[in-house]
Structure 1
Amino acid sequence: MKEVEVQMSFKGVESGILYLVPTPIGNLEDMTFRSVRTLQEVALIASEDTRNTQKLLNHFEITTPQRSFHEHNYKERIPQLIEILQRGESIAQVSDAGMPSISDPGHELVVACLAAGIKVVALPGPTAGLTALIASGLMPQPHYFHGFLPRKKKEQLTVLETFKEQEATIIFYESPHRIQKTVQVMMEVFGESRQAVVCRELTKLHEEYLRGTLEELNRYLKEHTIKGECCLMVSGSTEVAEGIVDPRSLKEQVEALIASGSKPNDSIKEVAKRNQLKKQVVYNEYHEIE
C-alpha cells in the first residue's frame, strides 16, 4: 500500500520531475531523440563531470545550465536539487557515460526524491554491461551484474568466493590497468578453465571482444597492453556438487557447457571427465550416433 500511496501523491503536485537520462558509452549516435529533448527542456542538468557533459551538450547544441553532482559532493547537493524540484522546475541527472546509478552517482538522489514525493522518470538507453553481454557469446540469462570489484586482492577474493557456485553469467567492470591482475585472481577462485569474455572500447571504433578461458585471457593480457574501460563477463558455474548425480542427459550437459561459451570438443571432454566415461561415449550421444 505504501508504494501505491506514494504514486497517488504525485497527482496534483506541482513539483518538478527528476529525469534519469542515459548518455552514450562511446558512440554519440546512441543518444536518443527523447534524451536530447529532455536535456533541452529541463531547467538544470546535474552532471557527474560538467566538463565531460559539456562536450555532449555542445555536440547537440543544448544550452541548459549544469551543476556538478558526484560521489564527493552529493550530500550537500541533494538538498539543493530537492529545493529546485519542489519549486516546480525539472532536473535531468546524467553520469559521464551510460545509465545513472549503475556504478555511477544517482541512487541517493532518487531515494531523496521518492522520500519527498517527487516523481522520478528513467529514460531507457545505453548501458555497458548488457550491451557487452548479448554479444559476448555467454549465456545472457540468467545474469548477475556486479560492477567494479574492490581493488585489494584480499577483498576481491572474499567477494569472488560468494560467486563461486553462481550459475548465472556474472558481469564486472574493470580498468584496463587492473584487468590482468583481476583475471588472475578469478583464476584462483573459479579455476583456469572457466569461460570468460573481456570487451573493451564498447561502441567505439576499436571495439574488441577477447573470448576464452580465464587462463587463456590471463596469458593474452600478460603479453598485450589494452586500452579503454573494460567489461569482464564470466560464465556461471556448471559444476555439480560432489556426491550428487547430474540428472541431465550427456547431450544436455554438453549443450549447457557450449551455451556457456565452451567449445564443443572441450565440452565433450569435460562431460566425459565428470561422468568418468570415455570421450567417445559422450561424443556418440551428443551427435546421436548409434
Structure 2
Amino acid sequence: MQKSFKEDKPTLYVVATPIGNLGDISYRAIEVLNDVDIILAEDTRTSGVLLNHYQIKKPMMSYHEFNKEAQENKVIDLLHEGKNLALISDAGTPGISDPGYEIIKAVIDSGFHAVSIPGPSAILAALVISGLIIQPFTFIGFLPRKPSDMKKMIESYQNRKETVIIYESPMRIQKTLNTIYSILGNRNITLSRELTKTFETIIRTTLDKAVSMDHNPKGEYVIIIEGNHNIQTHFDLTIEEHVQEYIKLGHTEKDAMKIVAQERNIKKSEVYKAIKIDS
C-alpha cells in the first residue's frame, strides 16, 4: 500500500507535459519539476525547450527506449540516496506509447513511491472531440510494423463494439488506413494531427473516404475508429451461433472453435461438445 503523501519516501514523479501548446502544462507539474533533484527526459534537447520556457533549472538525465535498461540501476541508486526524480517524455504522459513502464515498475518493486502528475494526453484530447462514442474505448497505440502482424492485430478488433484508438506516424498513415479499411470495411473515423498546435487538423469522415485522401506527411496521427455496432457480442450468442459468426467471416470451423474457446475462456472440447449437442 502506497500512501503517497503520508509517508516520506524518495519518489519518482511521472509528469505529463504538453503535447504541443506549451501553455497546457499544469501549475502542479511546474512546481514538481522545480522541486525534484533530477529530471529524466526522453530527449534532453526537446525537454530543454519546455524547461527553459518555464525557467526550470534542474539537471536532466537521459532516459529513452535505447538506454532504459542501462539507466535503471542509476535511477534506483539515486532513489536510495534520497533523491526525488521526475520522469517526462517528449510530449504527453510518460509510459503511453513512450518509455516509462519499465522504470516505473522497477521503482515500485524497489519499494519507492511512484506518483502521477496528470495532464495532457493525445488519446483523450483526440477522443473527446472525435464525435464518436467516447466510452467504452480501447487504446492500441502503434500497430505492429510487420504487415502480417498488423493485419492480425486489426482482425482481433473487428467484432468489438467499443471505439478503438490507434497512433500512427505520418509516413505510414496511408498504408495503415488501407489495411484497416480492407479488414473493418466502411466505418466512421476521426483523424487528428498536430493537436493543440497552430496547424491542428481534425478530419471526421468515413474509412472509404479517408483512404482516398492526401494525408499530410507531418505530425503523428491519432486514429479513432467507430466500433462494430452491427453484430451481437458473444454474450448474446449461443456457442454454436458464436462459432458460425466466425465461419461467416471466412475462418475454418476448427479455427472458429479455437477463437470462440479463447473469447469465452473455456476449453475447446466444451465448444465441440456444445456444437454436437445443438446439432
TM superposition score category, shorter chain reference: 0.7 to 0.9
1:235 aligns with 2:226: yes
- The aligned residue for residue 208 of structure 1 is 201
1:27 aligns with 2:21: yes
1:196 aligns with 2:189: yes
Contiguous gaps of at least 5 residues in structure 2: 238-279
- The aligned residue for residue 56 of structure 1 is 50
- The aligned residue for residue 265 of structure 2 is none
Correspondence list, 1:140-289, <5 A: 140-191=134-185, 193-221=186-214, 224-241=215-232
Aligned length: 236
The answer (yes or no) to whether the contact 1:167–1:236 under 8 Å persists in 2 is: yes
The answer (yes or no) to whether the contact 1:10–1:119 under 8 Å persists in 2 is: no
The answer (yes or no) to whether the contact 2:192–2:223 under 8 Å persists in 1 is: yes
The answer (yes or no) to whether the contact 2:159–2:231 under 8 Å persists in 1 is: no
For the residues of structure 1 that align with 2:216 and 2:29, how far apart are their CA atoms? 35
User: CA 1:9/1:43 → structure 2, altered by over 3 Å: closer, same or farther?
Assistant: closer
- The aligned residue for residue 279 of structure 1 is none
The answer (yes or no) to whether the contact 1:24–1:97 under 8 Å persists in 2 is: yes
1:195 Cα offset (Å): 1.0
The answer (yes or no) to whether the contact 2:190–2:204 under 8 Å persists in 1 is: yes
1:112 aligns with 2:103: no
1:99 Cα offset (Å): 0.1
For the residues of structure 2 that align with 1:8 and 1:70, how far apart are their CA atoms? 28
The answer (yes or no) to whether the contact 2:190–2:224 under 8 Å persists in 1 is: yes
The answer (yes or no) to whether the contact 2:4–2:115 under 8 Å persists in 1 is: no
List per-residue Cα deviations over 1:130-172 (Å, max 9, x = no partner). Answer: 1100001010000011110012221110100110111110000
Q: Residue 129 of structure 2: SS of its match in structure 1?
A: helix
The answer (yes or no) to whether the contact 1:9–1:117 under 8 Å persists in 2 is: no
For the residues of structure 2 that align with 1:112 and 1:15, how far apart are their CA atoms? 15
For the residues of structure 2 that align with 1:31 and 1:15, how far apart are their CA atoms? 25
Q: Residue 135 of structure 1: SS of its match in structure 2?
A: coil
- The aligned residue for residue 278 of structure 1 is none
1:226 Cα offset (Å): 4.1
Aligned AA (1:45): I
For the residues of structure 2 that align with 1:232 and 1:139, how far apart are their CA atoms? 14
For the residues of structure 1 that align with 2:36 and 2:220, how far apart are their CA atoms? 30
The answer (yes or no) to whether the contact 2:39–2:58 under 8 Å persists in 1 is: yes
- The aligned residue for residue 85 of structure 1 is 79
The answer (yes or no) to whether the contact 1:15–1:86 under 8 Å persists in 2 is: no
1:102 aligns with 2:93: no
User: After the TM superposition, which segments of 4 or more aligned residues of structure 1 sit over 4 Å from their partners?
Assistant: 8-12
Aligned AA (1:216): K
Q: Residue 225 of structure 1: SS of its match in structure 2?
A: coil
Q: Residue 150 of structure 2: SS of its match in structure 1?
A: helix
User: CA 1:15/1:245 → structure 2, altered by over 3 Å: closer, same or farther?
Assistant: closer
Aligned AA (2:141): G
For the residues of structure 2 that align with 1:225 and 1:94, how far apart are their CA atoms? 28
List per-residue Cα deviations over 1:99-134 (Å, max 9, x = no partner). Answer: 000000111111111111101100110000111000
> Superposition RMSD on alpha carbons, in Å?
2.1
Q: Residue 216 of structure 2: SS of its match in structure 1?
A: coil
Q: Residue 213 of structure 2: SS of its match in structure 1?
A: helix
Percent of paired sites with the same residue? 41
1:15 Cα offset (Å): 3.9
The answer (yes or no) to whether the contact 1:161–1:189 under 8 Å persists in 2 is: yes
For the residues of structure 1 that align with 2:44 and 2:181, how far apart are their CA atoms? 39
Q: Residue 99 of structure 2: SS of its match in structure 1?
A: coil
Q: TM-score, normalised by structure 2?
A: 0.80
Q: TM-score, normalised by structure 1?
A: 0.77
For the residues of structure 2 that align with 1:100 and 1:226, how far apart are their CA atoms? 25
The answer (yes or no) to whether the contact 1:15–1:89 under 8 Å persists in 2 is: no
Correspondence list, 1:132-147, <5 A: 132-147=126-141
